């Protein structure tokens, strides 16, 4: 009996030790916001990327059916961020309480399609899409912008009935979102309504917008409705709308979400990543990058900051092309754009080391170390930067 008691004690102690050493892994947080517009509490799920600088602005994804799709979308977003395929982006997932009410548009007059007839008879409380978008515009988006540092650039992701709302927002509320990732939307509109909606997109005063539209192997109104929309877009050619369509015939209504989100986000954010080629790095200077992002800023209507990785990759390619002086000029612009970033000063210091300008190298390594200390970086980073300072000093 004694040995058994000892075994229980040891087992408990082992379990306690394991428990004490276990850290909780969290990918976001959840809060509740009361909507006066809708007249109810709405649960909101938020994911923010790791290792952000203070007040570093984020692009924002608003995700419909947030509870159902939050982990899928945030997992994809984190992966795309890790591999630098999209810029720093946060995800705001909105829990669903009444999909037909919030996501499906109001029927004007008599129903014009069988699906409109079905919805009107089954869910007579539906058609409050304007209210839902008003909640987003007047309550949710201002709350997010107040509590997080954000760019005035928003992406809306909607699937199925949520995809129908995404299209409704595109047609009727162009001031709310810049990007639309619309997955297997219900074929809500009749042909005449689709044509009328697409003609709204031809207004030259609309902002620049992008949409990624997909369907899986559902067939029926999902497929025909999207094809009708695509044909209308092609015929009218909205001047400030870019679009891409993807058909996943071997996927189901639900499994089509995963590839659509991954490919869709890459497409929607593609123009934010300047393409650096070996040929370009062989003759161009940093002005080609600055000009690109200046033009992008004009198109988007706000200042688009050149990503950190673009400066670094361009400088490295210039160095590989034996253009060390031009690489230093690129890195000087990097420091000017990110004056408090230790990595920027360190990169410039390394550039000066290649030019054997050791005094300048030492000064920049010291700047990197000073900023790193102020920002309380890890001891390993501080040690590495101190080693760089010492190495540059030894060359003097």
In a domain, 162, yes or no: yes
233-250 pLDDT tens trace: 999 999 999 999 999 999
Least reliable range by pLDDT among 3-7, 182-186, 265-269: 3-7
| pLDDT level of residue 223 (50, 70, 90 thresholds) | very high
Domain annotation covers residue 18: no
Mean pLDDT throughout 29-48?
Answer: 95
Mean pLDDT of the chain: 91
Q: How confident is the model at residue 22 (pLDDT cuts 50, 70, 90)?
A: low
**Do 307 and 258 share a domain, yes or no?**
no
Query: What is the pLDDT at residue 3?
Result: 45
Q: Are residues 221 and 304 in the same domain?
A: no
Confidence grade of residue 371 (pLDDT, cut at 50, 70, 90): very high
Judgement on whether residues 338 and 209 belong to the same structural domain of the protein: no
Whether 370 is in a domain gets the answer yes
In this structure, of 18-32, 148-162, 283-297, the range with the lowest mean pLDDT score is 18-32
pLDDT at res. 182: 98
- 7 pLDDT higher than 60: no
Residues 253 and 286 in one domain: no
Select from 272, 299, 325 the last residue of a domain.
272
Using H for helix, E for strand and C for coil, what is the string for the chain?
CHHHHHHHHHHHHHHHHHHHCCCCCCCCEEEEEEECCCCEEEEEEEECCCCCCCCCCEEEEEEECHHHHHHHHHHHHHHHHHCCCCCCEEEEEECCCCHHHHHCCCCCCCCCCHHHHHHHHHCCCCCCHHHHHHHHHHHHHHHHHHHCCEEEEEEEEEECHHHHHHHHHHHHCCCCCCEEEEECCCCCCCHHHHHHHHHHCCCCCCCCEEEEEEECCCCHHHHHHHHHHHHHHHHHCCCCEEEEEEECCCCCCCCCHHHHHHHHHHHHHHHHCCCCCHHHHHHCCCHHHHHHHHHHHHHHCCCCCCCHHHHHHHHHHHHHCCCHHHHHHHHHHHHHHCCCCHHHHHHHHHHHHHCCCHHHHHHHHHHHHHHHHHCCCCHHHHHHHHHHHHHHHHCC
Domain boundary among 249, 272, 295: 272
Q: Please report the pLDDT score of residue 14 as a whole number.
A: 43
97-135 pLDDT tens trace: 999 999 999 988 899 998 899 888 888 888 899 999 999
Position 371 in a domain = yes
Q: Are residues 68 and 190 in the same domain?
A: yes
pLDDT 10s digits, 300-347 = 989 998 988 899 999 999 999 999 999 999 999 999 999 999 999 999
Domain that residue 259 falls in: 29-272
Domain co-membership, 170 together with 318: no
Query: Are 197 and 303 contained in the same domain?
Result: no
CATH number at residue 351: 1.25.40.10
- Indicate whether 61 and 110 sit together in one domain: yes
Does one domain contain both 111 and 243?
Answer: yes
Q: Are residues 252 and 384 in the same domain?
A: no
Whether 114 and 202 share a structural domain: yes
Q: How many domains does the chain have?
A: 2
* CATH number of the domain residue 204 falls in: 3.40.50.1820
């Amino acid at each position: 009996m004694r040995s058994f008691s000892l075994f229980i004690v040891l087992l408990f102690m082992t379990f306690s030790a394991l428990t004490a050493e276990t850290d909780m892994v969290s990918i976001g947080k959840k809060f509740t916001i009361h909507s006066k517009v809708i007249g109810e509490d709405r649960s909101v799920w938020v994911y923010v990327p790791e290792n952000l600088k203070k007040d570093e602005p984020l692009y924002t994804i608003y995700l419909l059916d947030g509870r159902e799709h939050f982990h899928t979308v945030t997992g994809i977003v984190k992966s795309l961020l890790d591999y630098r395929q999209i810029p720093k982006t946060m995800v705001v997932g909105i829990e669903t309480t009444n999909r037909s009410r919030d996501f499906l548009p109001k029927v004007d007059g008599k129903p014009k399609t069988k699906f409109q007839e079905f919805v009107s008879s089954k869910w007579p409380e539906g058609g409050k899409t304007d209210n839902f978008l008003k909640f987003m515009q007047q309550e949710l988006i201002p709350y997010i912008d107040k509590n997080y540092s954000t760019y005035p650039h928003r992406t809306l992701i909607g699937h199925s009935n949520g995809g129908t709302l995404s299209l409704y927002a595109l047609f009727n509320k162009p001031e709310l979102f810049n990007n639309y990732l619309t997955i297997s939307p219900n074929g809500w509109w009749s042909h005449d309504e689709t044509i009328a909606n697409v003609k709204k997109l031809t207004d030259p005063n609309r902002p620049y917008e992008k949409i990624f539209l997909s369907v899986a192997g559902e067939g029926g109104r999902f497929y025909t409705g999207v094809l009708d929309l695509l044909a209308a877009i092609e015929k009218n050619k909205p001047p400030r709308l870019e679009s891409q369509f993807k058909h996943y015939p071997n996927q189901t209504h639900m499994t089509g979400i995963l590839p659509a989100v991954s490919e869709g986000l890459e497409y929607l954010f593609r123009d934010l990543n300047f393409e650096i080629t070996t040929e370009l790095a062989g003759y161009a200077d940093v002005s080609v990058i600055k000009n690109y992002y200046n033009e992008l800023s004009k198109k988007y209507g706000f200042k688009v900051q050149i990503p950190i990785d673009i400066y670094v990759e361009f400088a490295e390619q210039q160095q590989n092309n034996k253009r060390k002086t031009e690489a230093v000029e690129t890195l000087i612009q990097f420091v000017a754009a990110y004056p408090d970033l230790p990595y920027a000063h360190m990169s410039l210091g390394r550039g000066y080391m290649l030019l054997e300008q050791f005094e300048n190298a030492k000064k920049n390594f010291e700047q990197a170390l000073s900023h790193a200390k102020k920002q309380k970086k890890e001891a390993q980073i501080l040690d590495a930067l101190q080693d760089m300072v010492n190495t540059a000093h030894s060359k003097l």
